[in-house]
Chains A and B, each alone.
Chain A
């Protein structure tokens, strides 16, 4: 039975119930120049544990982080592998710069698996302590394969160089209690809790396709565990399907030079420079240390880019209620909320004493991590909900149940629109009144997902499968559902209205894992500033930015310190959007850690190898061709009469100026049709330009020449590509 309160936990009883399945020792290994040059493989079917050497070729071609994840997964699976096949793996890896304590943003891990939503390789980034602690235990990557018979906890003891696998029947599954329980169990003292990090999912991850992983770190002042999320793609669902309850790592003695870097002085100097920049400029720029990402609600609302009611609209008069001014009063700023050591950008914020109104923790006052923009937009405005306390509770439950707030919010928004339009009724929702704005109904769906019952479990299959179900079982209009169901390749859209930004549309459509903005966030450059007006400009941006952002994912870095804080004179540079001084910082940082000479060209080349392997991987798994880069029309333009009429002046002007049609005298339906024809053809033209710039064919296939140039023309990679050329 799931426990209700961490105070009720009897640790000794939990330990008594444990059954040890495996215990082995490994040779200690220091990191050298950012690398251990080995990974830890664990198979939970056989309880095999082995240390694997990482070859020079793998290191040279795939660097670390997402690169290692993609390569290990590529080797492990075949085209018939599904997310719940035993051979599917979860790989957690940092990167050579990961774990430094002097420069902000070095705590990121990158997690890779075959996604239950897309059946494609998905990568998801997560901050906090687990990645560095695991790295400093002597491993560049952690590879988990197989399926346990019963729930297990894996303990990586970096202090005593051991791996222990135990059946753990007694522990809760929900993360906010489990993380605290296991931190308490494995720490030797209160201070020692800082040296423990727990990876866990939750009950919601067991019954949906969009489960997340939570990575904990202990907040000494609050005496609480904070949770960071590897949120996209359903990795938590895979985790629970493998019957892994938690992975725990413990590593004491964290110091600033554990990477044994080539040039520590330079790392320190670069760090001091950035800390000063953050200190002096944050309140003139991002206000990250006060507002976190909540201010993006206000910014997006101001530009008609905030998703409202399943992406129908871009702004709402109540949006400020879930924006920065509201949360400034709610966040607990008595404590400094950071991530890994040394990150002074402090983008995360917490809420203390939130009184829970629903579900199994009703009546409790809990500490929870504050909502990020995606949650506020996805679970808030996109579902017509504008109460900050309600969205904060949604966020809390998503975290503890192990649910992706983006997929949850975008999926529920879709279901609400279907309900609103009479496509489904209460006989389908099993009595839930799923109108926009009905928070109680949204929460009941979530609790059903955790309990594994009711309509919640149906919704937990994600939009791609819901569309099919509603058409086949309830006679819904297939074309209409395709237009309003905001998913690509099976993954739900993240929370930006891309209707007026062709570059962002292609950024969403061409992203390897599905429409997640971490590859491209070009809306303002494109739509507001008109800095990339031609197809070639957009294609160049869609070449550069995914690669630059990929670089963070192979290094173990967070991208926020790159462009969410800027030098005071950034505006005087030739390309302010790239923040050139920070690019130089990263080049210097890489050399200072690894000792290798470096340049921006090499940076992009490193990324391009990983990016193209992931692309060929999508082909291998059956969804890499051009047709899988098509996006629902709602991501491009107005689907319904109401949507057109809400912005009729804009759309009429667009018909006149770009489509060269006079809208006077046309019906709204006729105008929608003409605008659609134009926008869809623009999208296809941009895809042509993007693929050409990337060195791919018109059908989105990397050419063999490109693979050779990148040095990833391995026989099995070429074999996949040859089938499609």
Chain B
């Protein structure tokens, strides 16, 4: 299993970070900016399709706002 924004996602071979984004029902351009961390490390958007995810990984997808 992989955790995506605290929800469990079934892990399969050859999964990439983009699959987690799709699982979380984000699209990269849902909002102009997505902030995605894999096990606490920031991954740039141009690496979403090529960054593999492994069993037990924790992925957080954040949505930046403009303060408040």
**Minimum CB distance partner of A406 in chain B:** B67
Chain B, range 1-42, C-beta contacts under 8 Å to A:
24-33, 35, 37, 42
A286 CA to B37 CA, complexed, in Å = 16
State which of B30, B45, B67 has its C-beta within 8 Å of the C-beta of A566. B30
Instruction: Say how far B29's CB is from chain A's closest CB, in angstroms.
Output: 3
Q: Which of B24, B30, B33, B65 neighbours the largest number of chain A CB atoms within 10 Å of its CB?
A: B65
B-chain residues with CB within 8 Å of residue A296 when the two chains form the complex: 64-65, 67-68
A-chain residues with CB within 8 Å of residue B27 when the two chains form the complex: 571
Does the CB pair A374–B67 fall under 8 Å? yes
B62 interface residue (CB < 8 Å to A): yes
A-chain residues with CB within 8 Å of residue B66 when the two chains form the complex: 517-518, 521, 559, 563-564
Does the CB pair B31–A372 fall under 8 Å? no
Does the CB pair A303–B67 fall under 8 Å? no
**Minimum CB distance partner of A347 in chain B:** B68
A373 interface residue (CB < 8 Å to B): yes
A518 CA to B31 CA, complexed, in Å = 19
* Stretch with Cβ within 8 A of B (4 or more), from A523-531, A622-630, A706-714: A523-531
**Minimum CB distance partner of B61 in chain A:** A284
State which of B28, B32, B42 has its C-beta within 8 Å of the C-beta of A302. B42
Given A284-B26, A302-B42, A302-B62, A521 and B67 contact (CB-CB distance below 8 Å)? yes
Instruction: Say how far B65's CB is from chain A's closest CB, in angstroms.
Output: 5
A528 CA to B42 CA, complexed, in Å = 12
Instruction: Say how far A431's CB is from chain B's closest CB, in angstroms.
Output: 34
B-chain residues with CB within 8 Å of residue A372 when the two chains form the complex: 67-68
Does the CB pair B37–A302 fall under 8 Å? yes
State which of A298, A347, A496, A566 has its C-beta within 8 Å of the C-beta of B31. A566
A496 CA to B35 CA, complexed, in Å = 16
A272 interface residue (CB < 8 Å to B): no
Chain A, range 542-579, C-beta contacts under 8 Å to B:
559-560, 563-564, 566, 568, 570-572, 576-577
Contacts across chains A and B counted by CB atoms under 8 Å: 89
Given A372-B68, A566-B31, A287 and B63 contact (CB-CB distance below 8 Å)? yes
State which of B26, B33, B63 has its C-beta within 8 Å of the C-beta of A529. B33
B-chain residues with CB within 8 Å of residue A298 when the two chains form the complex: 35, 60, 62
Does the CB pair A524–B32 fall under 8 Å? yes
Does the CB pair A373–B65 fall under 8 Å? yes
Instruction: Say how far B45's CB is from chain A's closest CB, in angstroms.
Output: 8
A-chain residues with CB within 8 Å of residue B28 when the two chains form the complex: 571
Does the CB pair B30–A293 fall under 8 Å? no
**Minimum CB distance partner of A528 in chain B:** B33
**Minimum CB distance partner of B64 in chain A:** A299
A101 interface residue (CB < 8 Å to B): no
A235 interface residue (CB < 8 Å to B): no
A-chain residues with CB within 8 Å of residue B65 when the two chains form the complex: 286, 288, 293, 295-296, 299, 373, 560, 564
A296 CA to B62 CA, complexed, in Å = 8
Does the CB pair A373–B62 fall under 8 Å? no
Does the CB pair B29–A576 fall under 8 Å? yes
Does the CB pair B42–A577 fall under 8 Å? no
- Determine the main DSSP class of B at the interface with A: loop
A494 CA to B68 CA, complexed, in Å = 10
Does the CB pair B29–A524 fall under 8 Å? no
A-chain residues with CB within 8 Å of residue B63 when the two chains form the complex: 285-287, 295, 299, 564
A300 interface residue (CB < 8 Å to B): yes
Does the CB pair A570–B33 fall under 8 Å? no
Does the CB pair A303–B42 fall under 8 Å? yes
Does the CB pair B62–A295 fall under 8 Å? yes
Does the CB pair A300–B64 fall under 8 Å? yes
A206 interface residue (CB < 8 Å to B): no
State which of A293, A303, A517, A568 has its C-beta within 8 Å of the C-beta of B35. A303
Does the CB pair A568–B30 fall under 8 Å? yes
A-chain residues with CB within 8 Å of residue B29 when the two chains form the complex: 570-572, 576
A495 interface residue (CB < 8 Å to B): yes
Instruction: Say how far A351's CB is from chain B's closest CB, in angstroms.
Output: 16
A423 CA to B5 CA, complexed, in Å = 45
Does the CB pair B62–A299 fall under 8 Å? yes
Does the CB pair A529–B35 fall under 8 Å? no
A67 interface residue (CB < 8 Å to B): no
A-chain residues with CB within 8 Å of residue B62 when the two chains form the complex: 295, 298-299, 302, 324
Per-position contact with B for A332-373: 1 when CB-CB < 8 Å, else 0?
000000000000000100000000000000000000000011
A637 interface residue (CB < 8 Å to B): no
A293 CA to B28 CA, complexed, in Å = 21
A490 interface residue (CB < 8 Å to B): no
Does the CB pair B67–A373 fall under 8 Å? yes
B-chain residues with CB within 8 Å of residue A518 when the two chains form the complex: 66-67
Does the CB pair B67–A494 fall under 8 Å? yes
Instruction: Say how far A150's CB is from chain B's closest CB, in angstroms.
Output: 36
Does the CB pair B42–A570 fall under 8 Å? no
Does the CB pair A293–B60 fall under 8 Å? no
B-chain residues with CB within 8 Å of residue A299 when the two chains form the complex: 35, 62-65
Given A285-B30, A576-B32, A577-B32, A517 and B67 contact (CB-CB distance below 8 Å)? yes
A-chain residues with CB within 8 Å of residue B33 when the two chains form the complex: 524-525, 528-529
Given A300-B64, A302-B37, A372-B68, A529 and B24 contact (CB-CB distance below 8 Å)? no
A158 interface residue (CB < 8 Å to B): no
A347 CA to B67 CA, complexed, in Å = 11
B-chain residues with CB within 8 Å of residue A303 when the two chains form the complex: 35, 42
Does the CB pair A284–B25 fall under 8 Å? yes
B-chain residues with CB within 8 Å of residue A288 when the two chains form the complex: 65
A292 interface residue (CB < 8 Å to B): yes
**Minimum CB distance partner of B66 in chain A:** A521
A374 CA to B45 CA, complexed, in Å = 26
Instruction: Say how far B42's CB is from chain A's closest CB, in angstroms.
Output: 4
A324 CA to B37 CA, complexed, in Å = 14
A568 CA to B67 CA, complexed, in Å = 23
A-chain residues with CB within 8 Å of residue B24 when the two chains form the complex: 284
Q: Which of B27, B60, B62 neighbours the largest number of chain A CB atoms within 10 Å of its CB?
A: B62
A374 CA to B66 CA, complexed, in Å = 10
B-chain residues with CB within 8 Å of residue A563 when the two chains form the complex: 66
Does the CB pair A373–B68 fall under 8 Å? yes
Does the CB pair B32–A531 fall under 8 Å? yes
Given A284-B24, A571-B28, A495 and B67 contact (CB-CB distance below 8 Å)? yes
A300 CA to B42 CA, complexed, in Å = 11
5 contacts between A and B (CB under 8 A): A372-B68, A559-B66, A570-B29, A571-B29, A577-B32
Question: Across chains A and B, which 4 residue pairs bring their CB atoms closest together, nearest first?
Answer: A571-B29, A521-B66, A293-B68, A372-B68
Known: A324-B62, A568-B30, A577-B32. 14 other contacts (CB 8 A): A284-B24, A286-B63, A296-B64, A296-B65, A302-B42, A303-B42, A517-B66, A525-B33, A529-B33, A563-B66, A571-B28, A571-B30, A576-B29, A576-B32
